[in-house]
Amino acid sequence: MSKFASGKHSWSLCDRCGFRHRYDQIVSESGTEWRVCRTCDDGTYNLSTHPQNTPPPVSPDSQGLRFPRPDVNVAL
């Protein structure tokens, strides 16, 4: 069975910022499995729990008045 190289002399590009970093400084981001540098790693980012994936709470519209009256011009 073969082993992978350690990559201690290798460079890698961050999938988010595109900057070049040492291979051992690139981590797999949870949720997306992108290979990102430690400064771009959010740590808590998850596709199912991201705030933009849930709509804001919506309240129902208010009801109309029970006995509405039209505006009356009293300056006649």
Q: What mean pLDDT is predicted for residues 21-30?
A: 89
More confident residue, 44 or 60: 60
Q: What are the CB-based long-range contacts (under 8 Å, 24+) for 33-41?
A: 40/14, 40/16
What percentage of the chain reaches a pLDDT higher than 90?
Answer: 22
